Amino acid sequence: MTAPKVIVMGVSGCGKSLAGTMLASELGVRFYDADDYHSRANVDKMAAGIPLTDEDRRGWLDDLAALIRWEAGGLVLACSALKRCYRERLLDHNPGVRLIYLKGDFETIWARHSRRTDHYFNGRAMLESQFQLLEEPSPDENAIVVDVSVAPGQIIRQCLAGLGLRGEDSRN
């Protein structure tokens, strides 16, 4: 079986990096964090508490789509992918890529977010803007939806089940 290519998506603080790292380890593929591919201008903007615009994200999304396309084996990419048009851009010329949406309510994610000290993403208003921007995947996107309120191991089991590999089913 060919190793899968997976995008773990959701708002900042939902656990994309942790779940993505764990899932990549389980799958035996490389993990990439989309945050590492932001331009310095984008990082500075977010650190100043200024939400990114679609234009700010354009080159970043193109770089990520190329990464997905050119990675020879499978991969797991942690990426917010908040809007459908962002996901379409990432999936362009990348057939077979699966989406895993880490879903949680604002208060749960804000509680996690407020404990972070090592991230440039800045403030409650920034998280609120992500929730306002978020377009949850629609049924035709065939996303695996996982509730972030469960333990990390349970999240990974649900991801693996949704990918048809093992664990318990998590499809909505």
pLDDT tens digits along 120-151: 455 677 788 889 999 999 999 999 999 999 99
Strand order in the sheet with 144-147: 30-33, 75-78, 5-9, 98-103, 144-147
Q: The domain 5-162: what is its CATH number?
A: 3.40.50.300
Q: Supply the pTM of this predicted model.
A: 0.89
Listed in sequence order, the DSSP H helices in 28-123 are 40-47, 54-70, 84-91, 106-113
Where in the chain are the domains? 5-162
pLDDT tens digits along 66-77: 999 999 889 999
Residue 136's nearest CA partner among 99, 101, 167 is 101
Neighbours of 37 (CB within 10 A): 16
